[in-house]
């Protein structure tokens, strides 16, 4: 009888210790200061840190986006800068790109960061994953939600485009997607490329549109290189991508409309410009047109699709580092980000730069309502982070 009670008591103590251990582990996992790394065997498994979602406007009625175009990140300190002053060259590397990103995040305090391709420069990145983590490091450290698409150089290292987008989508605070969610495609649909997705930005907290999408962000994969009619050319946005975007736009505009909730405006982000951007050489622009538009020989109906959709107000691109202008095509603004990274080509004496996009809500009698205005400007990587070329892109 005594041995039975002793065994029973021992089992009860073991059960209590086991339960205490489980509770302690669960408590650690949910603590904000926990490193979010579990040890399984001898391997450390990182648990992705997610941003606070959904994306939404601030309580002051604003939503600010930082566009980072063409970081061209390589291998850190050993990667030399291109097209900088001779006095700057010896001590210039990828770390200058990293420092610029940290400075601009601190100075502008954006709500969201959009990386528009050529994030890494494949031929200078022997380990694509390592270079991606270094390139996006400041964004992850900031805790801000961010998203990326691919350019024409990202896949030139050790990972293909699908693998790259998969890794990017699993990084801390990333809201990137490999491709659209299944419910936004038809049963037989197969969308071209990797990195096509839509992000919805909701109204200000406590406002009448706090639970409604008031701004939409389209991300598209413009590809890398392709052969068309026997000639090598840049990639382009395919019909399957445009059909998906039309369907998403139609669904968003099909929501019950009223004067307080008009059709949400949309912005689009992709890397390689469309051929029509060449026409802006002969039109009024804001910024500098300093090199030819490097685009595909294939002129897919991207502009016509945007015009017919009616909600896309501005498009943000990269690829041509020495162009940083905004110009209007058929009522839609096309804006270059300007070269951001120091390992990408540029122009000696012409500072690297970033583009800022600011959306502002309309103030109703009792609450913030729909988007009233979209503005943009650029910041230079100089001593003062000079602000230039501020302009209004759209007014309701």
Tens digits of pLDDT across the chain (396 residues) = 555 455 555 555 555 555 555 545 444 444 433 334 555 555 566 789 999 999 999 999 999 999 999 999 999 999 999 999 999 998 999 999 999 999 999 999 999 999 999 999 988 999 999 999 999 999 999 999 999 999 999 999 999 999 999 999 999 999 999 998 765 555 446 899 999 999 999 999 999 999 999 999 999 999 999 999 999 999 999 999 999 999 999 988 876 455 557 889 999 999 999 999 999 999 999 999 999 999 999 999 999 999 999 999 999 999 999 999 999 999 999 999 999 999 999 999 999 999 999 999 999 888 999 999 999 999 999 999 999 999 999 998
Which domains, and CATH codes, for the chain? 7-47 (no CATH), 51-395 (3.60.21.10)
Q: Is the pTM of this model over 0.85?
A: yes
Count other Cβ atoms within 10 Å, centred on residue 62. Answer: 15
d(CA 158, CA 156): 7
Cα-based distances in Å from 67 to 61, 98, 184: 20, 15, 26
Backbone torsions φ then ψ of 242, nearest 5 degrees? -70, -40
Instruction: Report the candidate in 365, 57, 363 with the shortest Cα–Cα distance to residue 205.
Output: 57
d(CA 54, CA 57): 10
β-bridge pairing 55-56 and 62-68: unpaired
């Amino acid at each position: 009888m005594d041995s039975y009670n002793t065994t029973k008591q021992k089992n009860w103590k073991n059960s209590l210790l086991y339960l205490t251990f489980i509770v302690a582990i669960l408590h650690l996992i949910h603590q904000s200061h926990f490193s979010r790394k579990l040890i399984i065997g001898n391997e450390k498994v990182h648990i992705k840190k997610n941003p606070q979602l959904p994306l939404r406007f601030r309580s002051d009625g604003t939503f600010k986006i930082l566009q980072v175009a063409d970081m061209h990140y390589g291998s850190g300190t050993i990667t030399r800068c291109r097209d900088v002053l001779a006095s700057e060259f010896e001590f210039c590397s990828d770390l200058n790109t990293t420092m610029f990103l940290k400075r601009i995040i601190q100075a502008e305090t954006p709500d969201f960061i959009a990386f528009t391709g050529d994030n890494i420069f494949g031929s200078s990145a022997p380990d694509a994953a390592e270079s991606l983590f270094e390139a996006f490091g400041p964004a992850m450290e900031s805790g801000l939600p961010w998203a990326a698409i691919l350019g024409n150089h990202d896949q030139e290292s050790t990972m293909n485009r699908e693998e790259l987008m998969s890794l990017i989508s699993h990084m801390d605070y990333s809201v990137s997607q490999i491709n659209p969610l299944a419910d936004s495609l038809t049963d037989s649909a197969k969308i071209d490329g990797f990195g096509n997705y839509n992000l919805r930005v909701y109204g200000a907290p406590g406002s009448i549109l706090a639970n409604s999408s008031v701004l939409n962000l389209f991300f598209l994969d413009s590809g890398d290189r392709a052969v068309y009619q026997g000639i090598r050319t840049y990639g382009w946005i395919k019909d399957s991508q445009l059909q998906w975007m039309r369907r998403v736009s139609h669904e968003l505009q099909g929501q019950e409309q009223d004067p307080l909730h008009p059709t949400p405006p949309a912005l689009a982000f992709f890397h390689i410009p469309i051929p029509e951007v060449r026409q802006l050489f002969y039109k009024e622009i804001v910024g500098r047109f300093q090199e030819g538009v490097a685009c595909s020989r294939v002129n897919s109906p991207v502009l016509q699709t945007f015009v017919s959709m009616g909600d896309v107000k501005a498009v943000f691109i990269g690829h041509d580092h020495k162009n940083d202008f905004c110009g209007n095509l058929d009522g839609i603004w096309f804006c270059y980000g300007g070269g951001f990274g120091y390992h990408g080509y540029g122009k000696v004496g012409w500072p690297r730069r970033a583009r800022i996009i600011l959306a502002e809500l309309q103030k109703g009698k009792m609450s913030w309502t729909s988007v009233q205005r979209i503005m943009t400007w650029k910041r230079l990587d100089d001593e003062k982070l000079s602000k230039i070329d501020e302009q209004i892109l759209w007014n309701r």
